Each structure stands twice: as structure tokens, then as C-alpha cells.
Amino acid sequence: MKVAFLASEMFPYAKTGGLADVAGTLPRFLSRSGLDVRVFVPFYREVREKNLSLRRTVGAAEVDWGGKGVPFSALEHQADGVTVTFIDQAGFFDRDHLYGTAAGDDPDNGERFAFFTRASLETMKALDLPPDIVHGHDWQSATAFAYLRFLYGDDPFFAATRSLFTVHNLAYQGLFDKGILGRVGLPGALFDPDGLEFYGQVSYLKAGILYADAVSTVSPTYSREIQTPEFGFGLDGLLRRRSADLHGILNGVDYHDWNPVTDRLIPARFGPRDLSGKRTCRAELLRMFGLPDVPGSPVVGMVTRLAGQKGLDIVCEALEVMLELGVRVVVLGAGERPIVDFLSAARSRHPSGLGLKVAFDEKVAHMIYAGSDLFLVPSRYEPCGLTQMYALKYGSIPVVRATGGLEDTIREFDPASGSGNGFKFSAPSPGDLLDGLRRAVGQYARKESWRALVRNAMASDFSWTRSAGAYLALYRKLIKPPRA
Ligand code: ADP
């Protein structure tokens, strides 16, 4: 089975969030099941600067782009049984960021990512590799499904191709002005509420939801939530209409990259049977953030985009009371200015209570998973969430809002039976967050049951093997020949 994966980011080449981890891992697990997986990714500047060994497989190709030809080429890289094809179009992708800067999204993102999907489909043709499945991710890849239907609908090359669109976050919709359709070579008639129009704009996300053969999202709970007005961002009606083709498949963890037994990014290694290395990691983390080591007081870690979705405003509101509980809080994040400003000011007021690093830093992220005792994920909504799964493996106990993938991966600890792997609270409010945290801090003081909880956490298994199997089953269902 040949699968073409379209993703706007992929670890370790370019990453801003969980999509990169998924695109970097799932294809490898699929290829181990015998699938032929090829991932298409834009050739960003940061990829170019990695000086990978690359083979130019398509040179000097051209896409007809609003009446004029725009050239591109395709570069190929082999890694772990997966072929990665980079779409090289310097004008669109040779920039020092993926999507935008602090000043905002790049104004030509509509053109950039539509071009990425068009050039990816053209590359499949140029290489004569008709895919059985085109699997696109998020709005940046969604125009592929509109092209497949309206531009390549009669093309025998794609006649047997089936398609799957995965939504990693429904809030990012790829909204552009009406004129974008003409500029990227899609029919103007799609500007209609039954097509891609979304309240006066064009929604790329709708192209995926409407035109892919099946749609999936990254946890069972989120797949149900997005069919309700509260979580649907205006698309819940459309998603309800497609509910028979809508699947929720939990993301997984690559325990090769995320494992305290082998992790080279942390100062000491440890496993469930011997946690002495975790104590070293904790001491080193506190030193790095200039915080005192207070025995008996837990360290609460956060690795997160600093965004409302992640409940950072709730953390800001609850912070003073949190610190009064006697915890130290360590935050690694990048994102929205008001949150950065608030946390920076709070850090000055509480130099021995709050540690803050405003950056995107893979090593510090690993240090926090390894060195913290508790891991806070207070998201307003969370399609899957990877950080709580990484924290579990590193014996840092998640305290999470019960939503989406957090609901599906964390079970409330029950001291009586010793079951559960974390703490959950229900409302996205400072009061509920503090209740959850108080329960966790209370348990932390009880050494015996805490040890049981840490064991449960570290034994939680969210390996990709199971989820890759679920994708494989779905691909098979899609390509099953129709009954005569
Ligand atoms: P999302 O994709 O919504 O941001 P996920 O939990 O699915 O959230 O994935 C977040 C990924 O990004 C994890 O791998 C996490 O470790 C990483 N991450 C988030 N913020 C940072 C940061 N500031 N520095 C390093 N890694 C980060």
C-alpha cells in the first residue's frame, strides 16, 4: 500500500508543535507494518540549513499558478524506512519561520500552503507514484482534497486514490479572502456555504472535511466534542453530517525519543525501578531555573504554547494561590505577548517560586519532563495532547483538565485502590485547577501511595504501535473495492 502523507511540519526537520511529532513518527510505524510511506513537507530555510543528504528527484517542474508558471523542485531524503520529499520553492518557503512572526501570520500563507499541496500532487505524477492513500493533515494540507476533486477528478492517475484528512486542531482553519480561490487555481463557484465559504471567507479546513473520503481527529473524545457547538468552531454542523466517516484515533508516543532510560538530553537517566536519576534531574532543573530545592515541596512543570487554548490565562489567574500551596512552578513556552508579559512580571515578584523560559527549546523540554514532580495541562480544549503522555513516561504526574485527549489518557488516581495515573479537573477555571492541584499536592505528601502513582504513570503505554494499527485498518477500509 502506497501512502502519501502531506504535513506542513515534521520532526526532526521543522517543528512548532504536536503535528511535527506525529508526522515524524507515525509514518515510521506504518512503514514497519509494510506500508510504503512518503511524507511531503515544504523545504523551509531551517530544513535547508540542516545540510541533509538530499537527492533532487524532480527538477525544474512548474505549477500553473493564476495563469503564470511557478517553478519548484522536489528533494528526497531517506530516514528510517520513510521517504521524505521536500517541496523546494524558495519564494514561498525559504523564510526563517514556518507560518509567521510575532507580528502575525504571513499574508501569503493561503498561496504558500495551497502551492505546497499542488506541487506535492504534481510530484507524485512526475515520479509516477500513484498513491493508494493521500493522508493530509490540518488546514495547510487541506487544499489537496479540493485539487483531487476539482482539478484531478478525471485524471486516471488518481482514479484509485482514496483520501484521509486528519484534524489536529479545529481552531486553526486557514481562513482567507474570497479571491484566494482564483489565485490558487480552484473554482470560484466553491465560494458558497455548501463549498468552502465560511462566513464571508474561504476556509481551507472545510476542503479537508468536505472532500476527503474520511476525516479523523486525534482522540476519541475530541472527535465527539467537535460535533458540538462548544468545541466545533462553527463547523460542528458539517462534522455531524460527516459523523459516519469521522474517526478518533489517539496519537502515540515514540518511546525511542521519549524515554528516561535512554534520553541523552537529560543530566541523568532513570527508570521505574530506580528513580535516583530523577532526583538528579530535579536538582539540575531547579538549578537551571535558579529555584531553591525545598524538600517535600513538589515541582510543577509546564511545556506549552503560551496560548489561551492551553489555559495559560487560567494559570495566570490562579498563580498566586498556586504558589501559596508551596509548589515551585517551571514554565517553558513561547507564544502570546500578554501571557509572556504576565508571567515575566510574576517571575520578578516570585523569584524563588516561579521559573520561566520563553523559548522553543527541545532540551529544556526534556529537562522539565524529567525533573518535575507534577505536570500541569489546563487546556480549554485539547485534541490529543502529547505533553501529558511524555510526562507520564518520565514519572511526572499530570494534572489536567478533563477534555479531549487529556480525558482519554489520564485516569484520576484513587488512593484506596492505587489505580489511576494522574489528576483531572472539570471546568477551565482557576477554582477547579486549584482543586486538582490541591489533590495532587496532598497525595505527594503520602510517600507510599505516591510511589504507586509514579509506577502507574511510568507504566502507562501510549506507544504508536496501537494507533498505527488503527490508521492501517482505516486505510484498508477506504481502499476496499466497492461491492459490485
Ligand atoms: P500542540 O501541538 O497543541 O502545541 P501537543 O501537546 O500536541 O500540543 O504537542 C506539543 C509538542 O511541542 C510537544 O512535543 C512539546 O514537548 C513541544 N513543545 C511545546 N512547547 C515547547 C517549547 N516551548 N519548547 C520545546 N518544545 C515545546
Residue 388 belongs to domain with CATH number = 3.40.50.2000
Q: Are 408 and 220 in contact (CB under 8 A)?
A: yes
Residue 269 located in a structural domain: no
SS3 42: strand
Greatest Cα pair distance, the chain, in angstroms, is 72
Using CA of residue 183, residue 184, residue 189, residue 192, what is the dihedral sign? negative
Q: With a 6 A CB cut-off, is 23 part of the ligand 1 pocket?
A: no
Closest ligand 1 atom, CA of 332? 23
Mean pLDDT of 403-410: 98
How much is the pTM? 0.93
**Whether residues 177 and 75 fall in one domain:** yes
Alpha carbons 445 and 427: distance in angstroms, whole number: 25
Q: Are 245 and 214 in contact (CB under 8 A)?
A: yes
**Whether residues 90 and 110 fall in one domain:** yes
Cα–Cα nearest to 145, from 169, 172, 118: 118
Q: With a 6 A CB cut-off, is 362 part of the ligand 1 pocket?
A: yes
In this prediction, residue 72 carries a pLDDT of: 98
Q: What is the pLDDT of residues 441-483, one digit of tens each?
A: 999 999 999 999 999 999 999 999 989 999 999 999 999 865 5
In this prediction, residue 484 carries a pLDDT of: 53
CA 18 – ligand 1 centroid, Å = 6
Q: What is the pLDDT of residues 123-150, one digit of tens each?
A: 999 999 999 999 999 999 999 999 999 9
**Whether residues 325 and 437 fall in one domain:** yes
Phi/psi of residue 19, each to 5°? Answer: -55, -40
CA 19 – ligand 1 centroid, Å = 9
**Whether residues 238 and 303 fall in one domain:** no
Using CA of residue 63, residue 204, residue 10, residue 153, what is the dihedral sign? negative
Residue 266 located in a structural domain: no
A 10 A CB-CB count for 76 gives 18
Alpha carbons 163 and 220: distance in angstroms, whole number: 20
In this prediction, residue 483 carries a pLDDT of: 57
In this prediction, residue 480 carries a pLDDT of: 82
**Whether residues 164 and 15 fall in one domain:** yes
Q: Are 376 and 399 in contact (CB under 8 A)?
A: yes
| Radius of gyration of the chain, Cα coordinates, nearest whole angstrom | 23
Task: Report the length, in residues, of the chain.
Answer: 484
**Whether residues 79 and 128 fall in one domain:** yes
**Whether residues 110 and 150 fall in one domain:** yes
- Please say if the pLDDT value at position 358 is more than 90: yes
Q: With a 6 A CB cut-off, is 387 part of the ligand 1 pocket?
A: yes
A 10 A CB-CB count for 364 gives 18
- Please say if the pLDDT value at position 361 is more than 60: yes
**Whether residues 62 and 105 fall in one domain:** yes
**Whether residues 201 and 167 fall in one domain:** yes
Q: With a 6 A CB cut-off, is 360 part of the ligand 1 pocket?
A: yes
**Whether residues 384 and 363 fall in one domain:** yes
Write the CA distances from 392 to 6, 20, 312, 420, 438, integer angstroms.
30, 20, 21, 11, 19
- Please say if the pLDDT value at position 163 is more than 90: yes
Structural domain harbouring 148: 2-252+465-479
Q: Could you tell me the pLDDT band of residue 67, with boundaries at 50, 70 and 90?
A: confident
Q: Are 143 and 14 in contact (CB under 8 A)?
A: no
Mean pLDDT of 81-101: 96
Our count of domains for the chain comes to 2
Alpha carbons 184 and 201: distance in angstroms, whole number: 15
Among all chains, which residue has been given the C-alpha cell 507534577? 374
Mean pLDDT of 366-387: 98
**Average pLDDT along the chain:** 96
**Whether residues 65 and 196 fall in one domain:** yes
Residue 131 located in a structural domain: yes
In this prediction, residue 482 carries a pLDDT of: 58
Beta-sheet strands, E only, within 218-323? 246-248, 299-306
**Whether residues 132 and 188 fall in one domain:** yes
In this prediction, residue 475 carries a pLDDT of: 98
- Please say if the pLDDT value at position 66 is more than 90: no
In this prediction, residue 253 carries a pLDDT of: 93
